[in-house]
Every structure is written in C-alpha cells, then in structure tokens.
Copies of this chain bind each other. A is one copy, B any other.
Amino acid sequence: MTGVLSYAVSRLQMLSTSDHSSIVSMNLFVALLLACIVIGHLLEENRWMNESITALIIGVCTGIVILLISGGKSSHLLVFSEDLFFIYLLPPIIFNAGFQVKKKQFFVNFITIVLFGAVGTLISCTIIALGATQFFKKLDIGTLDVGDYLAIGAIFAATDSVCTLQVLNQDETPLLYSLVFGEGVVNDATSVVLFNAIQNFDLTRINSQIAFKFIGNFLYLFATSTLLGVFTGLLSAYIIKKLYFGRHSTDREVALMMLMAYLSYMLAELFYLSGILTVFFCGIVMSHYTWHNVTESSRITTKHTFATLSFVAEIFIFLYVGMDALDIEKWRYVSDSPGTSVAVSSILLALVLIGRAAFIFPLSFLSNLAKKNPHKKISLREQVIIWWAGLMRGAVSMALAYNQFTRAGHTQLRANAIMITSTITVVLVSTVVFGLMTKPLIRFLLPHPKHTTSMTISDPSSPKSFLTPLLETGLDSEADLGLGGHEHDVPRPNSIRALLTTPTRSVHRYWRKFDDAFMRPVFGGRGFVPFVPGSPTERSAPPAQWE
C-alpha cells in the first residue's frame, strides 16, 4: 500500500506544482499586483503619486510584513532573476512604447535623441566612473578593481525607460517625452557597444583609430538592430496582408503580431544586438503597416493588450524592486558601518546628478545651434525637466548591479554588499524623491505646455485614458500612427505648423512619397488594404480620405 500512498502524495505534490510555498508566493504576488492597480486608480487624482511609486511603496510595506512574519529571515517572495526581467518583463514595455509612440515627434528629434543616447551616456558613464574611483578610495569599503568602477559608471549612467514612461506624458509634453524616452532606448545600444569595446580594445591607450573603430561599431550595431526590427515588422505586415488572416480569425492576427514582436527581440539577443532597439523599431513599423492590415477588432485588441501587458510588467518590476530592497542578507554587512553606506549612496546620487547635467546642457546647446526656428529650440526650462526626468534609476540598474556584484568568483564580500545596498538606496531615493517631484516640477516650469499637439486630449486628468468612443479612437490612432500621414489637411496649432515649415519637412515629404509609391502597396497600411465587402477594415479610414 506504500506505492499507492507515495503515488497519492506525488500526485498531490504535482497538483501543488511540486512546491506549495511557490504557490503561496504567486498568490500573494498576484494579489499585490491587484492591490497596486486598485490603489493606483484611487490615487490617480493625486498630483504627486504615480503607479510606480505606489507599487514601490506597497512592495516595501509587504517586504516589512514578510520580514516580521519570517522572523527576519527573508523579505521577498520571488528570487530576482535577470532572465525574468530581460526576457519577459522588459520586451513588452519597450515594444508597447514603440507601438504607441508619436512617430513624427520621434523622428523630428531623431538627431538630438541619438546625441543624448550615445554621446551623453558616454559622458555620464565616464564622469560617474572617474568620480567613484576618486571618492571611494578615501572610504573604507574594501577593494574594487577597474572593472567594478567601469561597471558602476554603466549601472548609474543608464536612463531607465520604464521610469520615464511613468513620469512623462506623451500627450502633455510630447517633445520632452520623445527626447527622454528615446534617449533611454538608444542608450541600450550604447551600453552594448561600450562593453564590446571594453572587451575588444585596450582602453588604456585611446587613439584616433580606436575611436573610429568604436564609432564604427556603434553605427553597425545601431543599423543592424534597427534593420532587424524594421524587417520583422514588415514581415508581419506582409504575411497578414498576403494571407489576409482577418477573413478568418482575429485570434490568429493578434497571436501573430504578439509572437512576431517577441521574435524580433529574441532574434536580436540571439545575434548579440540591442534587443531594446530592435523591438522598439519593430513596434513602430507594426503600428505603421501591420496594424492597418488587420480587422477592427484586432486593432482594438492589440492596442489595449500591448498597453495592458506593458502596464502589468511595469507594476511588477516596481513591486518587486520595493520588496527586494529589504532583503536582510544584503544589509548584514552594512549594519556594521551605516555611515559608509550613507556616504557611498550620497556620492553616487550626487554623481548621477552631475553626470546627467554634464551632457544635457552642453548637448542641448549644440542641438539648439543647429536649429534656425526658435520654436523648435529646447528652452532652458525644458532642459531642466529633461535633466530631472532622466535621473531616476530603476530595475535596469538593479539587474546590472546584481549581475556585477553577486556573481560567483567575487570574494570581496564587504565591497559587494555595500555596492548592492547603495544601488538599492539610489534606486529607492531617485524613484520616490525625484519621481514624486517630476510632475510638480513640470507643472511649475511649464504651466501651459507649448508643445501640446492637436491630438485630442479628452480628459487631461486621465492621461492614459482610452475612453474616447470607439470610432473616434480609431480615427485618433490613425492620425497619431500615420507617420507619413496627412496631418496638413487638418488645421493645426501654430507650433506644429511651424514644425512643418522647417527643413525636416522636405525629408518628411520624400519619405511620404516613397511610402505611398512603394511601401504601402506591398506592406499595406492606412487605406492600402483591399476593400472587402462587409469587412470592418475600411471603417475608420474611408478611401475618400486619402484620395
């Protein structure tokens, strides 16, 4: 009868997925996610809070409760894994950002964005690494080698795109959003190149040849990552247009778009490219072509599904970071010398502030020099906001710090423990303090944002609202998503008209001609999908509109 018993036990274990404590954790985590959504909704009217801070605070509170219940043993439910973060949570967030980004705004500021993301990150990284080398030697924190200092530079130079999405609003401040968020995306490509360079070149003697190689490497990586994203996006558009899935099933279309988007990210990782850059451009191409080839139901579904997945992933990250911050293991070494830890954290925060200021203001000045139209220049007030809004360090910094300072082989436990706790402190302080102050700062510096476009802001208090009635939503997105669109038919406020009279207009016109003549007939897009009687595809874009 023991066989029966052992079978029964094993069956029960299997039903409880081999480990009942993991079920408990998952239940608690899902319940906390729900709590974050409900509380975040209730606090939406509050001008200081945002969802990420709510999640972070709930995470810290839960961590305290778990710490008390477990008798000071552990404070987190799930083990923080880089795989979880880079493979499952980050791609939907970046893809959705590309899918919903105002493409015109993004491409008009393209040069400034690349300047900030590539040159700016290098400047910031150098300043932080040098500053840390200088100051940490005077503190008693154990031995750190050159690699560790470079790593500190990289960890704290990375602008967190996820945080940007939370504090800046695309509808209210489109210029600032596109600059800071775009910088975060390009920054990822920079860091891949940076570490390739560290691996391949001897950085102790930098000469012009190495600098050229470095620039060449960056351009190669940027181009290939972008092309891969564009290619997968176009492929999805072509498949859906040719096979015309809409005739049969919305589910297939949605599944195809989701899987293709994910494939683009994974392919980039496969070829050691920048997955973030790839999936971002894949999102842009999909919203310009693929999205117009599917049925009305598929459009609504994909738009909201991508947004929801991104939303849940963001909350998940902040909740986790908050919960993990209290992990007792890391604080054990620090408790002996709390002064050192505070000093290290303060130095790092100061370096982050200085490092970012050191490139935002000079590069903005350079960018303004190239612009003739005064309306397009980045004002000092906007520069301050760009500087401030990119200060937050989030889950990307955490993941990098864990990778550098907890991996096997590193035996200087004291220095590592201090670096981990300092990273947590910087992440918490920057997200909560800087994050809380961003919204009021924007309201203080830009009481009437001058760059508001004509995009319908149905209700300024609910920026993420999609509540506009169905067909209107369709038309809205059409206008928004039409990169080569026909916005000049529609009356626009002054700032946009001014924008269109600048030289970028001619580039834009050539692109539109090319798009209409070659791209759209092949890959579909607004108004280029064959009309099928009874098909809802044509509803939000009647042919009369583009004739």
Contact = CB atoms under 8 A, between A and B. Distances in A.
Contacts of A270: 20, 23-24, 27
Nearest to A266: B27
Nearest to A260: B34
Interface in A37-69: 37-38, 40-42, 44
A336 interface: no
A258 to B, nearest CB: 7
Contacts of A473: 297
Contacts of A9: 199
Interface in A231-266: 239, 243, 245-252, 254-256, 258-260, 262-263, 266
Contacts of A24: 270
Interface stretch (A82-90, A374-382, A480-488, A507-515): A82-90
A139 to B, nearest CB: 19
B7 A297 contact: no
A34 B256 contact: yes
Contacts of A267: 27
Q: Of A7, A145, A470, A473, which is in contact with the most chain B CB atoms at under 10 Å from its CB?
A: A7
A246 B27 contact: no
Given A5-B147, A6-B147, A17-B86, A30 B262 contact: yes
A12 B252 contact: no
A248 B304 contact: no
Contacts of A300: 297, 300-301
Nearest to A243: B41
Contacts of A26: 87, 266
A24 B269 CA distance: 9
Interface in A437-474: 462, 464-467, 469-470, 473
A519 to B, nearest CB: 22
A312 interface: yes
Contacts of A307: 250-251
A308 interface: yes
A7 B404 contact: yes
A82 B254 contact: no
Contact of A462 (B239, B247, B262, B308): B247
Interface residues of A, number: 105
A442 to B, nearest CB: 20
Q: Of A15, A42, A262, A270, which is in contact with the most chain B CB atoms at under 10 Å from its CB?
A: A15
Interface string A11-23: 1101111101001
Nearest to A472: B536
B249 A462 contact: yes
Given A195-B12, A266-B23, A7 B272 contact: no
Nearest to A198: B8
A255 B311 contact: yes
| Integer count of this chain's copies in the complex | 2
A305 interface: yes
A39 B403 CA distance: 41
Nearest to A309: B255
A251 B464 contact: yes
Given A16-B269, A300-B301, A305-B254, A259 B30 contact: yes
Given A3-B145, A4-B150, A259 B199 contact: no
Interface in A295-315: 295-298, 300-301, 304-305, 307-308, 311-312
Interface in A346-376: none
A141 interface: no
Contacts of A12: 195-196, 199, 272
Interface in A105-158: 145-148, 150-151, 154
Contacts of A5: 147, 198-199
Interface in A251-296: 251-252, 254-256, 258-260, 262-263, 266-267, 269-270, 272, 275, 295-296
A343 interface: no
A86 B301 contact: no
User: Ordered nearest first, which 6 A-B pairs have the shortest CB separation?
Assistant: A3-B147, A3-B145, A7-B147, A8-B199, A301-B304, A4-B147
Interface of A: 1-12, 14-18, 20, 23-24, 26-27, 30-31, 33-34, 37-38, 40-42, 44, 82-83, 86-87, 145-148, 150-151, 154, 192, 195-196, 198-199, 202-204, 239, 243, 245-252, 254-256, 258-260, 262-263, 266-267, 269-270, 272, 275, 295-298, 300-301, 304-305, 307-308, 311-312, 399-400, 403-404, 407, 409, 462, 464-467, 469-470, 473, 534-536, 539
16 contacts: A1-B146, A5-B147, A7-B198, A15-B192, A27-B266, A37-B255, A41-B248, A44-B248, A247-B467, A248-B467, A249-B467, A251-B308, A255-B308, A255-B312, A295-B466, A296-B469
